[in-house]
Structure 1
Amino acid sequence: MQPLADRLRPEKIEDMIGQSHIIGEGKVLNKIIKNQSIPNMIFFGPPGTGKTTLANIIANTTGKKYVKLNAVNCGVKEIKEVIDTTKQDLFSYNGIILMLDEIQAMNRKQQQALLEVIEDGSVTLIASTADNPYFVIYKAILSRSSIFEFKAIDKSDIFKGLKRAVDKIEGLYSYESIKIDDEALDCIAETCNGDMRSALNKLELAFNLGIDVPSNSVNVSLDTVIQSSSLKRLSYDRGGDDGYSILSAFHKSLRGSDADASIHYLARLIKAEDMQGITRRLLCVASEDVGLAVPQAITITEACVSSALQLGFPEARIPLAQATIYLAQCPKSDSVIKAIDSALYDLDNLETGDIPIHLKDAHYLGAKNLSRGVDYKYPHNYVNHYVKQQYLPDAICDKVYYNHGNNKNELAFKHYWDNLKK
């Protein structure tokens, strides 16, 4: 039997759940469909958010022949053969819409060859992918396509979609009574990860589990859903957009001193067991965002990271959480990264000049004949181990790369050196 998600697939744009930012009244895709001037398009976003459904609706609305292929199990040769066969019937259609699912499965050469299929204008490409298209799709295809991002569907919209599905289910079956509790639907909406197809699959499974043959009835309660459901699936692709976005949110939450958000994103990363991603971010934050405001932060963080690597999961979660909460609460300073990035920028963009001759290596015979190190003043021979002399090259001798951060530690050092250098 056809899955419930397919039997209840919307046939009109008004019946779609979610994606109001692109298909709502007055939004860009809504206008495109009404004008029936369909460009090549790339739909990207999580599974179960309506990419295939919308492509089908576009084809039906515009009177075009709908051809759906999956790039995982077909190449350009197979695509061309299907298109050529379909073109024989084009007298009764207004062109062809090629829905190519999982386009990221095609390599660069295959994607280049795909251009031949869409160049003559008789075929409109709608490609879909769960990955960021800028990571996985050939630039020539990107430049010929409009890109639309599909977002995970809100829990409230998932719930509405499930309620609508319940109304339709009653017409699909001939049971004496069908009772599906709102609590059950709410649980499904909470655990489907913004995936409408997953929500309908969960509903169908719970529905089948709730069938009572003797009474010819169906009763789906919260307990029924819990019995039929597995753990919530988290969206995480270590090398893709989801993975980078979670790491980005983790780092920015640490930088923003939000311990609760930092722990939340750490939990996501722990669920994915991305030890390398976690430890790299923690060590980076210790220097980039805490830096000299708390100089010992790097030492404490390194100790926590070392402990986590020795322990492995699941115990590693404890020192990783310790480092996360500690770094989130530390005073912040970006003086370190600003200093080094400014110096690197000058190396790339300025003529910085030669090292002052009194700083050059003088530990070899004949160095004095070249005046190397002759005028160097050894700071430890002076009061407070300091003496004023030029260290930067002449061309940038007045450059200031390090500016003290406005925090207790750096201001203490600034006060010390300001007084001494007077």
Structure 2
Amino acid sequence: MTDLFEASGVHPPDAPLADRLRPRSLEEVVGQDHLLGEGGPIRRMIEAGRLGSMILWGPPGTGKTTIARLLAQAAGYQFQQISAVFSGVADLKKAFETARGRRAAGQSTLLFVDEIHRFNRAQQDGFLPFVEEGIVTLVGATTENPSFELNGALLSRSQVFVLKRLDDEALGQLLTRAEAQEEKDLPLTPEARHALLALADGDGRYLLTMSEVLFGLAGGEPLDVQALAGTLQKRAPAYDKSREEHYNLISALHKSVRGSDPDAALYWLARMLNGGEDPLYLARRIVRMAVEDIGEADPLSILVANAAKDTYDFLGSPEGELALAQAVVHLATAPKSVGVYEAYKAASKAARETGSLMPPAHIRNAPTKLMKDLGYGKGYQYDPDTPEAFRAPTTSPTRWSAGSSTSPRARGMRRRSGSGWSAGRPCGRG
């Protein structure tokens, strides 16, 4: 499907609503004022009359293709588009040769590459000489993080601009334009109208597609939220278990637990489960939190985390997910200590630096007479036989132990109440 905001001319009356509402100038693009508004970096390029190569990174339905077309229009460049999904080496060569011919005739070319992250590394390298020579001004569009998916050499020759998901204000502007185009109001109550914006999840194209369905309904009473849900299929949340969104959400979950905020931790857990994340992956991460962030401050936490994993194994979904939620709340409200974590890091560092350093003679094993004659085990005291039943620690390269008052970041144990949430009563925040 072509992009919602792709610049276009007149469309036939039976064209999809999204086609008929495509912006015809950059001023009509909604939701990207940080790039296109007064003082925005792309606006400054246009005012200077010279475009640089760029990567437009953002979710679907936010205007990547449209901005590229309108940029070419505003700067007087010839617009040429290819898709990394359908194009190969032959298509790229043809595009470059065409652009070279235009350049010889004094015409600049804006080469728009949709889904540019789908080109492999070698294909991406093929752009470099043509960008460097100025044969094309490259504008790539991607929904994936460019730092993971694009060559460093290509990124160094381009500016990366991040397009934002459309907020309610921007989506509301689209609905207003749609109603003006159709010359009638959407058959929705105010509450249902707000719910429609939520269903769009920041995607303007999807919002207009749903609106077109609603405009086609026969006359009658405006739909409330429940009737709207029965009319439209709820969109699955944007989540890819192998992409950046996965790492962003698991980071948010872990840091919420670490920050003793059970409300936030439950929310991010639910987001990942609703997006289709493997619950056992989450269970493994919860066990890690218990070891890494709580440790000796609450040794029970590791048992709770492992029990949650075993419970999910036994019950499966959806009941087993409640065990994961219970573990997350326990960990978020538990006192925190990184004493063992820091002590082990220090011990590992010392072990690497000291190599084959021998233990002190008095704590070496002495199973033979020769070894005893060499002083192995000499002076060792059996701790239970001492008056205190405990002796001072033997000499250690680390000089401190987990939880000691001298260990960095582990001076005592901290307990934070977070939002004030406690088991048995509702969360303190909505």
TM range (shorter): 0.7 to 0.9
The counterpart of 2:83, out of the listed 43, 46, 70, is 70
**Displacement of 1:392 after TM fit?**
0.9
Match of 1:200 in 2: 208
The equivalences for 1:7-18 within 5 A come to 7-18=20-31
Match of 1:320 in 2: 324
Which is further off, 250-259 or 75-84?
75-84
8 Å CA contact 1:179–1:219 kept in 2: the answer is: no
Does residue 337 of the first structure (1) align with residue 341 of the second (2)? yes
The counterpart of 1:405, out of the listed 405, 412, 423, is 412
Match of 1:230 in 2: 233
Does residue 253 of the first structure (1) align with residue 266 of the second (2)? no
The equivalences for 1:169-318 within 5 A come to 169-170=182-183, 180-181=187-188, 183=190, 184-208=192-216, 210-211=217-218, 221-222=223-224, 225-271=228-274, 272-318=276-322
Which is further off, 223-232 or 115-124?
223-232
Q: Distance in 1 between matches of 2:400 and 2:188?
A: 74
Q: What secondary structure does 2:126 align onto?
A: helix
Q: What secondary structure does 1:333 align onto?
A: coil
The counterpart of 2:359, out of the listed 329, 332, 356, is 356
Q: Distance in 1 between matches of 2:175 and 2:185?
A: 14
Match of 2:138 in 1: 125
Number of corresponding residues: 393
**Displacement of 1:231 after TM fit?**
1.4
Q: Percent identity?
A: 32
Cα RMSD of the aligned pairs, angstroms, is: 2.8
Q: Distance in 1 between matches of 2:380 and 2:83?
A: 71
Match of 1:412 in 2: none
**Displacement of 1:405 after TM fit?**
2.2
Change in 2 beyond 3 A, CA 1:254/1:389:
closer
**Displacement of 1:179 after TM fit?**
5.3
**Displacement of 1:239 after TM fit?**
1.5
8 Å CA contact 2:99–2:108 kept in 1: the answer is: no
**Displacement of 1:205 after TM fit?**
2.2
Change in 2 beyond 3 A, CA 1:374/1:182:
same
Does residue 380 of the first structure (1) align with residue 384 of the second (2)? yes
Q: Structure 2 regions of 5+ residues with no counterpart? A: 1-13, 416-430
The counterpart of 2:61, out of the listed 45, 48, 66, is 48
8 Å CA contact 2:305–2:327 kept in 1: the answer is: yes
Change in 2 beyond 3 A, CA 1:159/1:219:
farther
Q: Distance in 2 between matches of 1:47 and 1:362?
A: 71
Q: Distance in 2 between matches of 1:87 and 1:225?
A: 53
8 Å CA contact 1:206–1:220 kept in 2: the answer is: no
Q: Distance in 2 between matches of 1:179 and 1:407?
A: 54
**Displacement of 1:121 after TM fit?**
0.7
Q: Distance in 1 between matches of 2:355 and 2:35?
A: 51
Larger helix share, 1 or 2:
1
Which is further off, 368-377 or 326-335?
368-377
8 Å CA contact 1:65–1:93 kept in 2: the answer is: no
**Displacement of 1:141 after TM fit?**
0.7
TM-score of the superposed pair, with normalisation by structure 2: 0.82
Change in 2 beyond 3 A, CA 1:33/1:380:
farther
Q: Structure 1 regions of 5+ residues with no counterpart? A: 171-176, 213-217, 409-422
**Displacement of 1:75 after TM fit?**
2.0
Change in 2 beyond 3 A, CA 1:252/1:179:
closer
